[in-house]
A and B are shown apart, each in its own frame.
Chain A
Amino acid sequence: MPKQAVISGNMAAAYAAKYARVDVIAAYPITPQTTAIEYLSQWVASGELDAEFVPAESEHSAMTICIAASASGARTFTATASQGLALMHEMLYIASGLRTPVVMMIGNRSLSSPLSIWNDHQDSMAERDAGWIQMYAENVQETFDMGLMCYRVGEDSRVMLPAMFCIDGFFLTHTYQNVVLPDQEQVDEFLPPYSPKYRLDPSNPIAMGTVGDPRWYMEFAKQKVEAMEAARGVVEEAHRDFEKIFGRRYDPFIERFHCNDADYIFITMGSVSGTFRHVVRELRKEGASVGLVRIRTFRPFPYEELREAISGAKVVGIVDRSISFGAMKSCGPLFLEVRAALYEQEKKPKTVNLILGIGGRDTTPSMVRECFKKLESVDERREFDVFWIGLRE
């Protein structure tokens, strides 16, 4: 029988790896992800989980070990954040290039300098072009579910890409919520054993990680694109199966809240969505025409779903917890992607970029109301604005 448990986001991520019957875990401690790998090492030590726990000497090696283990036919898991993810950067491209479906939990955390252990999305946004599936969870249940989803989608033979599920540092990694943990048999049904077509095996010697000169490199880059595009259908299919097996339903790419008739729509990702949903509900009661779109799957980017959800609105407020320094008015990366998705539309909403929660700055309901005022007061004739919310002048 599925059981209920009050657990943290980090524990939910660890449970996802455990229920996935992970073979190799390689990791390096970094706040706020650390307790996730502590749980896994405890389960390996107690014999509760039959896996190799490799305490790597750096995140770079942790990712390398996962890639090589995956290339050898093992299901792998790692978790990191911030500087650790930045140190892995080189290997992230290699993971997707070698088509090794490593699964990684990110405890989203700001990037130095100044040093900050607190939450924003600068770390994972910096890796958005690395060829990884990227998903963002809002609560602890979703963290667990997304962990399983990452294995299912990444290991699909049509995809074979690494996948990261991102949960907000502290807001989710260290928050305890009531979660339903499934039966192992349900997970086994959802997630078939990992069996890649090619793996390192002396009875069938192959070479992996060769030199691709200009006669060849582009073809392999295009294969990666094809895999990422194929992931769109696989993500949907996996969510359908997920609902069938576990009884929980998610919109695969974007979750809509009061969007159908809304003049004003926020677009968010991650745990801040809860605060926005709460305020949207209040504003609705007050008679405002406002809605919310929460992006769950960021890579592949749901541009069609977004267009459909927001093109009827007057103004869309895109919430970024990251900054693309030197982009148009130094807006956030999510803003860039959403704007680009709207370009082909004849009827486009005005867009506003709301940058908030940088370096762990708390986002309160009153700040969300301030955001709403920014949307309401948009001047039709003006070019877009980038507003920093919660910033001292």
Chain B
Amino acid sequence: MSIKLSELPAEDYFLPGHRACAGCGAAIAIRLILKVAGPNTIVASATGCIEVISSLYPENAWGVPWIHTAFENAAATASGVEAAYKVLRRKGKISHDKVNFLAIAGDGGTADIGIQALSGMAERGHNVKYICYDNEAYMNTGIQRSSSTPYGAWTTTSPPGKAIPIGKREVKKDVARIMVAHGIPYVATASIGYPLDLMRKVKTALEIEGPAYIHVHTPCPTGWRFESNKTIEVARLAVQTGMWVLYEVKQGRLRITYKLSKLKPVEEYLRTQGRFSHLTDDDIAKIQEDVRKRFEEFVEGYRQLGVSVEA
């Protein structure tokens, strides 16, 4: 299956007038995801950037039914909608045959406060497609570190200082891998730097019955400190330097969807962003070494999770 740019529909279901910052990576992701999902979709949003920028009463940037309840429970909210549709359809109270149920949350709402609800939704097997738009910090509250913030990044709660010069001391939590370990039918990582790949993965997820998890890397000009026109370029560099790996695990089979024969130096990625501007050459060398190691051991790591690997 592939997605052709020339064949994409004109209709949008994430609409203009939303209040995202200029150059918002998450807004790009959500618009493209909704374009694939189409009108027969119900969205459950977690509290966060996408939620507040799209629903300042009485403004509604959604073209499909949309519900937000709280921060930590997008997966549970979507579970409830899905369960209702299942039984109401069975009882003949609803006629819609096929409705897409999307849960949409940021990295805080996914990797931190929402991981329990996400795990529950996946384990129970709800037919919900969960989208994490990862801008690598709590951007809605003003750039605080999350467990998805990468090592060495400045945020307002991981500021580099004399005592802690590196900024964030911990490595980024690998939620996609946690979701692979749940054994659900489909897990993918994606990036707005590779929009057609992202859209293909959404389409794949929607066509598979059962829970799916898609983790989308969505650079944030405001929080990462880069010019608003560089969002896509930064996203691409994350992939090309190996800082963000694109792959999917479909029915237990791993496929790297953007293969790199040679990694670009991580410095090319890090130097585009003010959040890494405090890093020394030694810091960057350490990050480079970590990326190299992770990249080399990537496939083996998934084999250990019981996943088979496609050539």
**Contact yes or no, A200 B65, CB < 8 A:** yes
Among B42, B57, B117, contact of A211 (Cβ-Cβ < 8 Å): B57
15 A-B residue pairings within 8 Å (CB atoms): A24-B87, A51-B87, A55-B124, A61-B79, A61-B117, A61-B120, A65-B76, A66-B80, A68-B78, A90-B70, A202-B40, A205-B65, A209-B67, A211-B51, A216-B57
A307 to B261, CA, bound (A): 82
User: What does the 1/0 interface line of A203-229 toward B look like (CB < 8 Å)?
Assistant: 111111111110010000000000000
User: What does the 1/0 interface line of B85-102 toward A look like (CB < 8 Å)?
Assistant: 111101101101001000
Given A61-B73, A64-B77: A202 touches B96 (CB 8 Å cut-off): yes
Q: Which residues of B contact A61 (CB under 8 A)?
A: 73, 75-76, 79, 116-117, 120
Among A91, A202, A207, contact of B70 (Cβ-Cβ < 8 Å): A91
Counting CB contacts under 8 A, is A71 at the interface?
yes
Q: Which residues of B contact A208 (CB under 8 A)?
A: 66-68
Given A24-B83, A65-B80, A68-B44: A210 touches B124 (CB 8 Å cut-off): no
The number of inter-chain residue pairs (CB within 8 angstroms) is 157
* Residues of B contacting A: mostly: mixed
Rounded to whole Å, the gap between the CB of B26 and the closest CB of chain A is 16
Counting CB contacts under 8 A, is B119 at the interface?
yes
Rounded to whole Å, the gap between the CB of B297 and the closest CB of chain A is 31
Among A69, A90, A210, A216, contact of B83 (Cβ-Cβ < 8 Å): A69
Counting CB contacts under 8 A, is B72 at the interface?
yes
Most buried by B among A204, A206, A209: A209
Interface residues, chain B, with chain A CB atoms under 8 Å away: 39-42, 44-45, 51-52, 55-58, 60, 62-70, 72-73, 75-81, 83-88, 90-91, 93-94, 96, 99, 116-117, 119-120, 123-124
Among A23, A55, A210, contact of B84 (Cβ-Cβ < 8 Å): A23
**Contact yes or no, B80 A67, CB < 8 A:** yes
Counting CB contacts under 8 A, is A54 at the interface?
yes
Rounded to whole Å, the gap between the CB of A30 and the closest CB of chain B is 16
Given A200-B81, A207-B60, A216-B57: A52 touches B86 (CB 8 Å cut-off): yes
Given A58-B120, A210-B60: A73 touches B94 (CB 8 Å cut-off): yes
Using CB atoms, name the residue of chain B closest to A66: B80
Q: Which residues of B contact A91 (CB under 8 A)?
A: 69-70, 73
Q: Which residues of B contact A213 (CB under 8 A)?
A: 56-57
Rounded to whole Å, the gap between the CB of B199 and the closest CB of chain A is 20
Counting CB contacts under 8 A, is A72 at the interface?
yes
Given A24-B80, A72-B85, A200-B81: A209 touches B124 (CB 8 Å cut-off): no
